[in-house]
Amino acid sequence: MLNKFLSKRSSALALSVKALGAAALIAVAAPAAAHVDYVDLSDPFLSPGGVNGGTFSNYGWYDGTTQTLGDTHQLAQGQFFKFHLTQDSKITINFSDDGNTGLLNPSFSLYAGLLPDEAHDDATTDPLNPNHFVATPTPHTVYDASPVDNGVTTDAAGHVSPFRDTANIHNFKGQFDALHDWSMANEEGAWAVILYQTHVATTGGANIATLSNYFLRAGDYTIAAAGNVNCGSNVSCPNTNLPGTISLSVTAVPLPASAWLFVSAISGFWLNRRNKATYQAA
């Protein structure tokens, strides 16, 4: 009787171990969902001197230049960089390969605006490769137009969505576009477009990418950074663990003399009208 009981317990334990093993395999096999995690270069405590870093892939930025776009998880493991300008400024951005390995080809794109917190590729309201199944007369998959990335829909700020031809291109890797406006949403339904400003790309084993004295209006900005390596079908090429550093310096642009004259003229006009109204009232 005891032996029979122990035998049953051993069988149950073995089944549990097998189930846990299968679950672990499924978890490993499942694609990683990139949720936007911003590092704030304007935060003096988080990024002293406008400097911060991360771990980058050598191909993440390059993929964003291709027809099927890039997986945001392959930039810096889903990490983006942001900064805020309180007034019009000239900025300088440096993105360097910390190890001077020549393997990264550091490259980055600069956008106006911010993506929603916890946004990711293939959100419910902004699907990556939307499709539906048709059972009759012959079972097949029909690929649909994107419900938001259609070149018409506008986000909360009034920015027009980019166009992704999901009806004809069925294998988008992600939504990161290194050379144009693009968008993402989160699972709470927040969706936003960020507006492409410029990019810097390096090749040939370069160890630093630099954007110097670039003029920007006051506002919020996003930097998406990774490597510019075309790995193609070379399975030994991809490298996702290359440490890099992003640095930002900002120089405020003073108002030109003509602007100050305009402000002075407006102020003088307003004071003159107020004095005149006061005199008439008296």
Residue 267, pLDDT score: 56
Amino acid at position 216, single letter: L
Cβ proximity of 117 and 111 under 8 Å: no
- Checking DSSP bridges between strand 182-185 and strand 51-56, what pairing results, if any? unpaired
Dihedral angle at the C-alpha atoms of 112, 115, 121, 124, nearest 10 degrees? -130
Alpha-carbon gap, residue 108 to 60, rounded angstroms: 10
The residue-averaged pLDDT of 62-84 equals 95
> Whole-model pTM?
0.80
The residue-averaged pLDDT of 196-217 equals 97
Residue 29, pLDDT score: 36
Residue 21, pLDDT score: 44
Q: Is 31 exposed, middle or buried (0-12, 13-18, 19+ CB in 10 A)?
A: exposed
Residue 131, pLDDT score: 94
Residue 235, pLDDT score: 84
What are the tens digits of pLDDT across the range 113-128?
Answer: 999 999 999 999 999 9
Residue 16, pLDDT score: 45
The residue-averaged pLDDT of 122-141 equals 94
CA nearest 108: which of 214, 233, 211, 249?
Answer: 211
Q: Cα 2 from chain centroid?
A: 61
Residue with more model confidence, 263 or 203:
203
The residue-averaged pLDDT of 96-120 equals 96
